[in-house]
Amino acid sequence: MKSDLKYFIYILVLFGGGSLILQSLIAPLMQINVWKPDFVLIIVLLMGKRFRSGWGSTAGFILGIIQDSLTGMPIGITALPKSIAGYASGKTTSMHPEGTLYYIWFLFLILLHEIIAFAFFQYKTELTYTFLLYSRVFPNTIYTMLMLFIVHTFTRKYFDE
């Protein structure tokens, strides 16, 4: 195996597995009203940034399917948005953004992920999409972005080339 593939698998197992555990055990404790951060999405975005678009979408799909199977959600409802976010995160590296510009792209990708995920989720509830947009999408985006700052600060040596 190539060393980059080995490193991808290592990071996927270590940080992907850790994010799934955090999402299952710690995120409900951090929940404010109905808003909680998406640790799995954070790792998918960082993996897309580090390993480019193909591996980012692969990580998003794998971790999204596992996350769906651990929760009561229909299988695939978060795998598609996470795959799209991982792919787009990998594509942003070709523009060579630095510093704050990267975080602006991450904010946009988190918002895109939430919009797509809650568009699917809206069919499972009686709530309108406009209500979900204002009550869940925007607050979850801000909360996940704050957690991304913290996670990226402590894991920078693993996800930066």
CA-to-CA distance for 80 and 83, rounded, in angstroms?
5
Taking the model in full, what pTM does it have?
Answer: 0.93
Instruction: Encode 51-78 in three state secondary structure.
Output: HHHHHHHHHHHHHHHHHHHHCCCCCCCC
Topology given in CATH for the domain delimited by 3-159: Arp2/3 complex 21 kDa subunit ARPC3 (1.10.1760)
The sign of the dihedral angle between the CA atoms of 75, 78, 83, 86 is negative
Per-residue pLDDT tens over the stretch 69-101? 988 778 888 899 999 999 999 999 888 888 888
Per-residue pLDDT tens over the stretch 101-120? 889 999 999 999 999 998 88
Per-residue pLDDT tens over the stretch 116-133? 998 888 887 888 888 989
Domain ranges of the chain: 3-159
Give the number of residues written for the chain.
161
